[in-house]
Homo-oligomer: A and B are copies of this chain.
Amino acid sequence: MLTDRQLLILQVIVDDFIRSAQPVGSRSLSKKEGISLSSATIRNEMADLEEMGYIEKTHTSSGRVPSVKGYRYYVDHMLSPQRLTQHDISIIKSIFAEKIVEFEKIIQRSASILSDLTNYTSIVLGPAVSENKLKRIQIIPVNKETAVAIFVTDTGHVEHKMFSLPASVNPGDIEKTVNILNERLNGVPLEELNDKIYKEVAVLLKQHIQNYDSMLHTFAQLLKMPITEKLFFGGKTNMLSQPEFHDIDKIRDLMMMIDQEEWISSIIRNNAKGIHVRIGSENNNKIMDECSLITATYSVGEEKLGTIAILGPTRMEYSRVIGLLQFLSRDLTAVLTKLYQNN
């Protein structure tokens, strides 16, 4: 266990390093107010903290830097979310200023504002559309061979897709089919559409439609489209200003990973409810060894709907970022709940 004094020293080291990005030495610590110990005493304590793995040296005679374990302890036991300033709050509130709620825009603005407020990179995952309920299907022929299918959900989300019309189909049949689909599939969550069309709609189609086979096939194909929520990023270039990324190769790897979206996506989509912090090597990704990722979810009711996240250096302002994420996730939850309950 750590003594009170060790806790104090660890805390000051982390705080100081987060601020300055410079390894913290015993002498500079001893001169801090709130600490009335000689540098020698601090050196002894630091040696102990190092032995326990909370801090590290960058070379034999350098000051100390928090280790992953150190940051972890700091985040788990010493940190309280920063209270936001009035200024921060008003900026976040401005996200929701416009009256008509176009959700994608809110998400996008959230990402951009979050990165502005933190100077890190922000990532926002839109609300799970696949759980939205179908409101209306519309088929609009574009020319003889192709048509556009449009799906509108109860939250006002619109998906659309072009497709080839089955050969020799007659317009009346399409209309009939669409009517049947709307009647039967109204209120069904998007992810269950494909199921339902076989179980409930197929029979009806068979009764009313000539070109039953190709029609069913076409629509089943349409409904099979995977609905993956888009990721929105903000401040991708902010990382370039961090002193730990002076090395262009590191930056390149990192930026390529971000642009790839693959790794980020897998993390962001599969995280559990609440706020989570992944520090450095905890990310299980070489490229992320010097980065931390903080994720927060937003929900409606009990159900997690989407995620907002901040990616920054391990030397990140955890307190501030967690404070901001907490606040924004609550606001998003509130807005969404209102939107979803309005139906």
Contacts and interface: CB of A to CB of B under 8 A. Distances in A.
A150 B157 CA distance: 11
A152 B150 CA distance: 10
Contact of A248 (B155, B160, B163, B240): B240
A261 interface: no
A342 B152 contact: no
Contact of A143 (B140, B164, B251, B343): B343
Contacts of A101: 146, 162
Given A143-B342, A248-B246, A152 B148 contact: yes
Interface in A106-141: 135-136, 138, 140
- Identical copies in the complex: 2
Contacts of A35: none
Contacts of A259: 236-237
Contact of A150 (B100, B150, B245, B256): B150
Contact of A252 (B140, B146, B241): B241
Interface residues of A, number: 39
A245 B249 CA distance: 12
Contacts of A252: 237, 240-241
Interface in A237-260: 237, 240-241, 245-246, 248, 251-252, 255-256, 259
Interface in A13-60: none
A145 interface: yes
Given A135-B140, A142-B155, 18 more contacts: A100-B162, A100-B163, A100-B164, A101-B146, A102-B162, A135-B142, A136-B140, A138-B150, A142-B152, A142-B154, A143-B154, A143-B342, A144-B342, A145-B342, A146-B342, A237-B256, A240-B248, A240-B251
